[in-house]
Structure 1
Amino acid sequence: MFKSNWILILLFLLILSCKGYKQADFNHKKSWHQVVTSDDSSPIARHEAAFVNVGDKFYLLGGRGIRSISIFDTKTQKWSLGEQPPIEFHHFQPIVFEDKVYIIGALTGKYPAETPVENVYAYNTTTDSWEKGAPIPKDRLRGSTGNVIKDGVVYLSCGISNGHISGHKKWLDSYNLKTGEWKILPDAPRARDHFQAVESDNKIYVLAGRLSKAPSATFKETIAEVDVYDIKKNIWVTLEKEIPTQRAGNIALLYKDDVLVIGGESASQTKAHNDVEGLNTKNHTWITYPSLLQGRHGTGAVLFNNHIYIASGCGNRGGSPELNTMEKY
């Protein structure tokens, strides 16, 4: 009997192998867990904001209105407050370089006719202070861009110039943080806004998002295609496999070999998405990860000590309710 059981197990494993199951599928038995602080502190609720990691601290910044930075200390497991920004920033993907958080390609103002922020801004995590940087070229102004950094150069893709109404861009630009040089690069295959970009192995993955057309089609025109820019070859390609769950306002993050698309919003449901899907950068297949505890859009995520943390955002499509919770995978 014992021997026959082992034969059955071996046959089962062989069947799984023949069907092409990936080892990654078995590693996704992990799940998301609520993060409870040591003193019951919580961050300021916000959405269309950013969440980044510098050193052993997390920084939650921006969002609609002018709100102080929320700082999470991973050593004490407590939230505290940092300096308020000089102006309102929202709809941006932040860039961390050395000890500063850079905001490039943000919007400011009220829905639906928000305007692009005209300068680069930076938050210095060492001094808890804000700096106003160089102006962005006027003919390249827009917000809701997908931003990544590679070797001190920021790459800004796509975006929208007229709030949530019009001015959808295919643009790709680079901005050198050390020299201040701005370059115009080849346009992406298609325009999109309300998304985040990810860099892996000198390739920039531009995925999810939509074409916002307020007030009648703010959420409807989500984008299925995945566009990839090769930094070294200076060319764009579009992958064959589209995103499984179309959504915008999502979070994107590189986790091992997978570009994760986390959360988001769409016309298909009132609740914010709790979907987490991963695009493998080696074979361009999609993998389903465990769902978030709380669906959310309009925020960021950080990878710290092999755990993914996500905080704040909005729990429904649109602007409410704003969340002040954090969970980790």
Structure 2
Amino acid sequence: MKNICLPIYLLVFGLCWSLNTGSAQSGSQWESLSAADGSEPVQRHEAAFVRIGEKFYLLGGRGIRPVSIYDPQSQTWTLGQKPPVEIHHFQPVVYNDKVYIIGALTGQYPGETPLPKVIIYDPATDEWSEGATIPENRRRGSAGLSVYKDKIYIACGIKDGHRGDHKTWLDVYDPQTNTWEQLPDAPRARDHFQAVVVKHKLYLVGGRRSAAPDNVFNDLEGKVDVYDLKKGTWSTISEELPTKRAGLFLATVPKNKIVVLGGETGDQQLAHSEMEVLNTKKGSWESWSPMIQGRHGTGAIVYKGQLIVASGCGNRGGSPELKTMEVYNLK
């Protein structure tokens, strides 16, 4: 097996980037990662963490915050441009090496409003732009997004900030033609969740039905709904997410598995640290080592045999916002 290893002074953080990946072994543990020069990302939550090429990007969050850019080769953070508008509660997708944001919220809790247009970030130029107008009758935030065959699928979400009007909607957007199509509704509504495609199926995992002010955190959704992108039909996996939670984030790893990380619930103050993994072939769950720091409202990256998380919020709600980053070897 050929390895690409970082400079020797960072080996204390367990960072050896492997060209080969497989299933994670039970002995793997999360380890902290710090920048070589002491630089840090901008603290944020209800935001996103994505990889484009050889760099990682933290985007959005409450308030208007500049992009934080991590270079794993130099192990340093730098700043990018601020977005044109406050963007939070969204799951980004990467298409043609640009970040597309659809189904986001803007404004203050609890009555945040859905953004009316697609927002695009181009890392090559460090520029933000507005894309197509989202059909007025299909706007919502806290939706789940994924790309399949050059089209972007937008699932569920919430219309009225954190107060209600939860959606079962499924839409598909074609960024090449700027056209929208409505697809069959999901079996159940949810917000504060994420979606991911494995093979030709779209998986909706976790989330809740927010209902401020009295029931924001507790109406959790454990069922995993699956949309067959070839057949155009919905089904539901028999085994529920073992730890029901919202504000979680997903990654796909080898052997058709979906990693579920972090989140928040009403029954504990600390954000969740659990890592639970769905074997999509068997429809069953595995428990892997928990993160060092529980967090919600961010994302996860798979890069050269490792799973990487950064930022987010350490408690239920909005504080403390984190600067930390962790890495997990997929052996």
Say whether the fold is shared (TM-score over 0.5): yes
**Which amino acid counterpart does residue 39 of structure 2 have in structure 1?**
S
**Which amino acid counterpart does residue 83 of structure 1 have in structure 2?**
Q
Deviation for aligned residue 1:151: 1.3
Residue of 69, 72, 75 corresponding to 1:71: 69
1:175 aligns with 2:173: yes
1:288 counterpart residue number: 287
CA distance in 2, matches of 1:165, 1:253: 28
1:225 counterpart residue number: 223
**Deviation digits for residues 12-63 of structure 1, max 9, x if unmatched?**
xxxxxxxxxxx968x1211111111110111000000000000100000000
1:310 counterpart residue number: 309
CA distance in 2, matches of 1:255, 1:28: 15
Q: Secondary structure at 2:326's aligned position in 1?
A: strand
Residue of 163, 166, 178 corresponding to 1:165: 163
CA distance in 1, matches of 2:179, 2:114: 20
Q: Secondary structure at 1:259's aligned position in 2?
A: strand
CA distance in 2, matches of 1:198, 1:260: 10
CA distance in 2, matches of 1:275, 1:215: 27
Change (3 A) 1:125 1:24: closer
Q: Secondary structure at 1:247's aligned position in 2?
A: coil
Q: How does 1:140-151 map to 2 (within 5 A)?
A: 140-151=138-149
1:136 aligns with 2:141: no
Q: How does 1:85-164 map to 2 (within 5 A)?
A: 85-164=83-162
2:29 counterpart residue number: 31
CA distance in 2, matches of 1:207, 1:85: 28
2:298 counterpart residue number: 299
When normalised by structure 1's length, the TM-score is 0.92
1:319 counterpart residue number: 318
CA RMSD of superposed structures (Å): 1.0
1:50 aligns with 2:57: no
CA distance in 2, matches of 1:224, 1:102: 27
Aligned residues: 306
CA distance in 2, matches of 1:273, 1:327: 15
CA distance in 2, matches of 1:91, 1:292: 22
CA distance in 2, matches of 1:55, 1:32: 23
Q: Which runs of 4+ in 1 moved over 3 A?
A: none
CA distance in 1, matches of 2:179, 2:133: 11
Q: Secondary structure at 2:222's aligned position in 1?
A: coil
**Which amino acid counterpart does residue 50 of structure 2 have in structure 1?**
V
Q: Secondary structure at 2:173's aligned position in 1?
A: strand
**Which amino acid counterpart does residue 250 of structure 2 have in structure 1?**
A
